[in-house]
A = this chain, B = another copy of it.
């Protein structure tokens, strides 16, 4: 720029333009000419009005005319450009995470995360909750996901485990008389890594005494409203919607419905069977959705949808569609078996109008509902009904207490073994356990489960009964949870709680796709921190001290 140098100075608070005029200060001009990208500098000058203003940045109306300039640290050219739309691939940015963190989107994400944690702490503190730190070096319990374990050097052959959640400890705090507890806390799960899971994650963990389900829902609805108001400026005046688990499965095909849009699933079994179409006639369940205004989908588009539902992770065998043409006629892929009147019944059941497209799946009920759910979400995407800046929270309630596992031929706890059955269903404990509903609830936003909890069992006899149902031997129950059942003998108050996934909540409110974007130093999908190269081998001396050996690799 002839006799002028312009410098974009970036810090946590934004970018400010510095300017040096060769005529007024030759030394500074020379130094400024030597600056490279990402140099760390110290500068003084006079704030002046900018001639060509930049409306996109907060300081775009001004620039600083330098009178002093020091280079505090030089920088090598970074491996990717440090700007909002970087040219760095994900792997490279993970390796240089400290440089990636300089980019404005990531700065904002972590600042948002901090603000959210602060708001949540303020809210709960104000409601009389106290934050209590529970231990990280605890005891391994085989129930649930796999534990990460920590070998003890002092106690030969013994191990601590990292908590999958502070569940037991928060219940013990209730027994200990802390009637309102919370903690924002790291938890650990040694899972086979799926995309967007982290081996360590953060939970907003809460528990209250002398409460029923209604108290928990009201309290934490208040908290979520406060966060939504403060962070997104959204004022939800009414209570969040509530839906039973049964209704959610029936209408949305899953237990975390995205209610930003309708397109509810309808059971068509009663009107689609018995017309000679073998696939439907042999199916336990036939269900459909109505995609508004999609009757003109091309063959290519319907084929793509068919391929979508046939993907192994969805697993439908095929897709039946009915085009409700604008002229009122109905055209389907199964015209051979169904008359216009038959198809009209389906359309009516799905509240379709001319111009809509009906999409129908069949098979066993569970898998078909699941596939319909995926198809519904896909159509929501295609129709632009899943705007990330729209937030649709709700509670899903009345979960089943137990889940039957075909493989191991036993019940598992749907929520966890401490969840209490509904009083009115307790009679079913012996006769029909799978129909028992639990005092369990999930908090869902935009089709993502953000939180879940339950009212707990506080009676040691009932807890013992639960362990029996879950196939624990008395010995196993005692060795793993004996201290909890013992604790319940000494006057446990009725209590219940909830835990929210803080990474997920932040990422949803942030409108980001991955929780990695709201974690300062995340692991990759293989559970590896590629910046510090961890996990890694440790020395023989360390292994010796810990009294452990690494097993030979199986070939």
Contacts and interface: CB of A to CB of B under 8 A. Distances in A.
Nearest to A548: B548
A162 interface: yes
A428 B490 CA distance: 66
Contact of A551 (B11, B40, B175, B548): B548
B548 A107 contact: no
Contacts of A101: 172-173, 176-178
Interface in A92-112: 96-102, 107, 110-111
A448 B135 CA distance: 24
13 contacts: A38-B490, A74-B491, A110-B132, A137-B199, A140-B536, A149-B150, A155-B526, A155-B535, A169-B520, A172-B531, A186-B186, A548-B548, A548-B549
Interface string A537-555: 1110010111111110100
A434 to B, nearest CB: 28
Interface in A183-233: 186, 188, 190, 192-193, 199-200, 202, 210
Contact of A139 (B111, B151, B536): B536
A56 interface: no
B520 A173 contact: yes
A534 interface: yes
B157 A537 contact: yes
A530 to B, nearest CB: 10
A158 B536 contact: yes
Contacts of A551: 544, 547-549
Interface stretch (A113-121, A250-258, A275-283, A416-424): A113-121
Contacts of A299: none
* Chain A interface category by residue count: 35 or more
Contact of A176 (B99, B156, B169, B178): B99
Given A74-B491, A113-B132, A135-B523, 8 more contacts: A39-B491, A42-B210, A99-B175, A156-B550, A159-B535, A159-B537, A548-B551, A549-B549
Nearest to A95: B483
A100 B176 CA distance: 7
A68 interface: no
Interface string A130-172: 1111111111101000111111111111111110000011001
Given A76-B490, A551-B548, A200 B137 contact: yes
Contacts of A549: 548-551
Contacts of A169: 520-521
A493 B9 CA distance: 13
A73 B461 CA distance: 12
Nearest to A458: B73
B146 A149 contact: no
Interface string A307-332: 00000000000000000000000000
A102 B40 contact: no
B190 A153 contact: yes
Contact of A149 (B42, B130, B147, B542): B542
Nearest to A488: B73
Given A176-B99, A521-B134, A546-B149, A160 B535 contact: yes
B527 A152 contact: yes
A468 to B, nearest CB: 21
Interface string A448-468: 000000000011000000000
Contacts of A75: 489-491
Nearest to A489: B76
A259 B139 CA distance: 43
